[in-house]
Structure 1
């Protein structure tokens, strides 16, 4: 075996350095050893790859390099035993395929106006002339979006219970009370609701109760017409527009993920069990709220830090008129370039999920033996100065001049473990940003540069981005006067 160079420090010390400041750790490794290096974890080599050529080999060599679900087992308390991250082979491919229709194409188009309306709903509650934290505000928006799109809930008692519970659950899951036991499984002791890990399990049980009650209600009602051709039988599912009123009639269509999954069949042709449906949601929940909120918060930072970017964006958005169609917004080229550049600098996935070498293979000139673990470093690939000149500079124009390959630009990961909600997340990001810029005049309250701070798998601004709402733009005034802060 011929491994890339790497640090000789003890594994526990390297883990501490990585946990304290992951991005700075990766930068230092890259500066010292280049874009491919090895870190030993006990007797297992971890090979980090941070260039597009290596990424292509990792994602296309699916015979010798396997994206095994066993490597993600420590995430089981978060994503469930039947979550996509832990599944392999046919089960993984089939379950992933089930999520594609409600998270892509015509389905997500139906969410467009709803995303814009939810953005205005949250933003309109902010007081004018007072500072607010952008990151938790964006979390409120993205949480509303996932409750609507994943569960089809818009109002009512169960909607309110989901909204409060999911906020508590996801915030607690990002706390040291959960993150430390995830790294040290012997600390995962359920000593009752008032113990740290016990409270985490208690929140998950509450989620299960709410979700299973919703599934039971929907199964008791006629199936939406749009789901009758999905491989199930009529009258097994009701619409996703449940509001807590058991006497509400179903709609003729359902655009939420839960309705699709209740009616879907697994790889053996049987309807998914409640537990199988449930375990497909956690990764979508955390990505749908925190990853999306992080990306939108960084968008607000860069757009308001660079006036020329903001002016060009506003000009492009205004060219669509006072009440643009959401799909027209999503197709704006400069808006697309801005969002791409934001995701390049701080991608929603800093590293890929680990792969394991199953058969002797060659990677970037190195001969790797079975058992070696390979981790694609998206962050380093996105900051490669030969691929992205002046990588620390925010330059949306680079995405107007060049179309990057899936191995050069991969903010949502790649290969078999690529984020299934990518299309919805990117769509949401563009609509939320455009809605805020069009209807609200904001300003940064801190002139200092923002630094990322790890929170789970995401890296929001360390300050949570302090901003001020200066003025609400009235639709009827947009053509009559400029907006001043």
Structure 2
């Protein structure tokens, strides 16, 4: 069964596409050392998310060395709940208004640099914009050199699935960030003041208690990574799909011309929001929603799964079921106009107790960046054949070769 895990790692999308029609709604990946299943059957997903607080979350073997063993992404129990209680309210709907101007300013700065005739790598550009935003929300005005070094390290670790596999096979795992970068991130975090999120982690009397430098490093790296990588992919995919559909792009531009809203209010730009949601469906930034370990023998998927079995919800395959999403290969934002999909059918941000804390913030960023770019620039995809999904760590981004050309300005 190791062969299937290897195929999933190296040829992720062909592997998944070949199993999209499997009637049982799961595929068995391994039997040893534990049974591991990739699952997209709706009733099973509903059970997993409903029971999530009782399951263990071992995390990713490949990403654990990168983000660190103390990352909140792998934590369970009271410590994990304490992090969610501390950070969740700061990223929820009631606080989104606090970030509008920060996101708008970052989008404006990035778009201003795109002059007519500029040809740029779309995934690289969106990662730069969203990392700027994540850095400011988390650390305040962190020095650009620190974020540049952070990007260089992630590109080295995650930029190629084959290189990542070689790191794991011959060097004991993906490369950890250099010691000097860790020190700078920790120093920046301890120097923050409100409203920067990191200030909550180091504030005296916070519900987490004292956090040592190792744990703080792991949380800052995890929040920077999770706070920009998937949002960058979602933004790049949204812009790519708009380029591929002229009528849709025209209708979104018409919608934007009818309002002065920056894209911050999803209700003011329903077609743009539906476009973002459809982009998250057909090209989800993360194809799987993390591992869950069963603490006891469980009846699931029409069989008895032994204690210690690992189940991993497949976002990618859940989003490609024609009984819920007719013609699932077709890009159609109309699926999301006036409807609210079931969480076991549409899960771009995972679900259960591990549902992404930044899901609403991420969509807010995608809308504002996309609206800013469409209003101020006219783009043309130079090489649309490069608009193919590639695996970047555990994320799914457009190929790094995908390029856009700025053909006109509206400034």
Indicate conservation of the 8 Å contact 1:340/1:399, yes or no. yes
Equivalent residue, structure 2, for 1:174: 158
- RCO greater where, 1 or 2, for CA within 8 Å and sep 6 or more? 2
Q: Could you say which residue in structure 1 is the equivalent of 2:215? A: 276
Q: Within the alignment, does 1:208 sit opposite 2:192 as a pair?
A: no
Question: Superposition pairs for residues 203-282 of structure 1, below 5 Å?
Answer: 203-218=177-192, 239=193, 254-263=194-203, 265=205, 267=207, 270-282=209-221
The alpha carbon displacement at 1:353 in A equals 1.0
Q: TM-score, normalised by structure 1?
A: 0.78
The residue number in structure 1 matching 2:148 is 164
Matches within 5 A, 1:187-198: 187-188=171-172
Separation in structure 2 between the aligned mates of residue 357 and residue 374 of structure 1, nearest angstrom: 8
Partners of 1:179 and 1:97 lie apart in 2 by 34
Task: Give the CA deviation at 1:50.
Answer: 1.1
CA separation of 1:72 and 1:448: change in aligned 2, threshold 3 A: closer
1:82 has 2:66 as partner: no
Long gaps (5+) in structure 1: 1-10, 190-196, 219-238, 240-253, 475-485
What does the per-residue CA deviation read over 1:109-165, in whole Å, with 9 as the maximum and x for residues that have no partner? 222122122122122223412422111111111111111111111xxxx51222222
How many residues of Structure 1 are paired with residues of Structure 2 in the alignment? 410
8 Å CA contact retained: 2:263, 2:269: no
SS at match of 1:30: coil
Match of 1:405 in 2: 342
Which of 56, 69, 81 is 1:93 aligned to?
Answer: 81
Residue 59 of structure 1 and its aligned partner are, at CA, apart by 1.1
- Per-residue deviation at 1:380? 0.6
Mark the CA change 1:427 to 1:264 in structure 2 (over 3 Å): closer, same or farther: farther
Q: Which runs of 4+ in 1 moved over 6 A?
A: none
Which residue of the partner structure matches residue 32 of structure 2? 42
The structure-2 alpha-carbon separation of the partners of 1:160 and 1:32, relative to structure 1 and needing over 3 Å to count, comes to closer
Given the superposition, is the C-alpha separation of residues 265 and 72 from structure 1 closer, same or farther in structure 2, using an over 3 Å criterion?
farther
Q: TM-score scaled by structure 2?
A: 0.91
Distance of 1:339 and 1:211 partners within structure 2: 32
- Structure 1 residue corresponding to 2:247, chosen from 308, 314, 319: 308
Are 2:396 and 1:459 equivalent residues in the alignment?
A: yes
User: Equivalents in 2 of 1:89, 1:179: separation in Å?
Assistant: 31
SS of equivalent to 1:117: helix
Q: Distance in 2 between matches of 1:352 and 1:359?
A: 21
Q: Judge which range, 98-107 or 162-171, deviates more.
A: 98-107
The 5 Å alignment of 1:285-364 reads 285-321=224-260, 324-325=261-262, 327-328=264-265, 331-364=268-301
Paired residues for 1:109-188 under 5 Å: 109-153=97-141, 159-175=143-159, 179-180=164-165, 183-184=168-169, 187-188=171-172
Match of 2:55 among 66, 69, 87: 66
* Alpha carbons 2:386, 2:402 under 8 Å: kept: no
Alpha-carbon contact 2:287-2:315 (below 8 Å) kept: yes
Q: Which runs of 5+ in 2 are unaligned?
A: none
